[in-house]
Amino acid sequence: MEIKKVGVVGCGLMGAGIAEVCARAGYDTVVREVDDGLLAKGLDRLRTSMAGAVERGKLSDQNRAAAGGRLRGTTRLEELADRDLIIEAVTESLAVKREIFETLDRACPSYTILASNTSSIPIIDMASVTGRPDRVLGMHFMNPVPVMRLVELVQAITTSDETLATSRAFGEAVGKRVIVSKDRAGFIVNMLLVPYLLEAIRMYESGFATREDIDVGMVLGTNHPMGPLTLLDYVGLDTTYFIANILFEEYRQSQYAPPPLLKQMVTAGFNGRKSGRGFYDYAAGEKPPQT
């Protein structure tokens, strides 16, 4: 099967990025948000990102316009009914995701592949509420989607090899390097990344080192583009807290347990860059250390 028409559910940070890469790669793309306000905001984010790509010389103005022409927004989930592939990128709530998978399963023809961009929830939890568990898989993009070259595909115990092969070809067609994980919480990337980020929080929490030295240590010591506390602010502390809880629930091992400081910061609303404050206070003009 060849994918021609793509649907994206959710036009937040990840959904907008996914819709952008699909439209830029030549796919007829429809992105859905729950209301007109959120849709306008998401499409605006997407247009700003493409304008930035033009400014940086990564995209020609002509290709930007062509990508814009292949993209349309909607607030109705049912409008995705003619899509070959639908990528769900909504909030990390299993209840919300399950409802979306149930609705899409009812609305779409049997050939439509349903993918989830979940960062950590096992795919079988969504596949099992559909009548097509062989055509459900994980398609985990990295943030920022237009820039990061990876897509992680997750094959649930029900996902067919054909679904995986079609999705692999799609991932490559949108310019990503594809890796494949079996279906367990955290997959490959977050299974390795999240314990590292949690350990950096524990180190800072214990007073062992300053936030700046922890960040500079990993940037200059291992050539990471961002130190762990800066990356936490970038990914979102709420998102990381959520993933840590999913991992801890699945494995019951202490390295996945969210440190008390993370919980406190999330409770206080210090969710990182998007909220103005995380490990660094962006609203007060603080910046992660320059190297």
Residues 244 and 1: their CA atoms lie apart, in Å, by 36
Nearest approach, Cβ of 194 to ligand 3HC (angstroms)? 8
Nearer to ligand 3HC, 207 or 225 (CB): 225
Nearest approach, Cβ of 187 to ligand 3HC (angstroms)? 9
Nearest approach, Cβ of 55 to ligand 3HC (angstroms)? 9
Neighbouring C-beta atoms of residue 182, cutoff 10 Å: 13
Nearer to ligand 3HC, 3 or 18 (CB): 18
Select from 212, 262, 206, 214 the least CA-distant residue to 239.
262
Distance of alpha carbon 167 from the chain centroid:
16
Nearest approach, Cβ of 181 to ligand 3HC (angstroms)? 12
Neighbouring C-beta atoms of residue 18, cutoff 10 Å: 29
One of 20, 120, 140, 181 is an active-site residue; which one?
140
Residues 90 and 58: their CA atoms lie apart, in Å, by 28
Nearer to ligand 3HC, 141 or 270 (CB): 141
Nearest approach, Cβ of 190 to ligand 3HC (angstroms)? 5
Nearest approach, Cβ of 14 to ligand 3HC (angstroms)? 8
224 catalytic per annotation: no
Distance of alpha carbon 50 from the chain centroid:
18
Nearer to ligand 3HC, 29 or 239 (CB): 239
One of 120, 152, 271, 275 is an active-site residue; which one?
152
At position 286, the amino acid (one-letter code) is: E
Nearer to ligand 3HC, 9 or 108 (CB): 9
End-to-end CA distance of the chain: 48
140 catalytic per annotation: yes
One of 116, 190, 271, 275 is an active-site residue; which one?
190
| Binding footprint of ligand 3HC on the chain (CB under 6 A) | 49, 52-53, 56, 58, 119, 142-144, 146-148, 189-190, 193, 225-226, 231, 235, 239
One of 119, 167, 181, 275 is an active-site residue; which one?
119
Nearest residue to ligand 3HC, scored by beta-carbon proximity: 119
Annotated catalytic sites, by residue?
119, 140, 152, 190
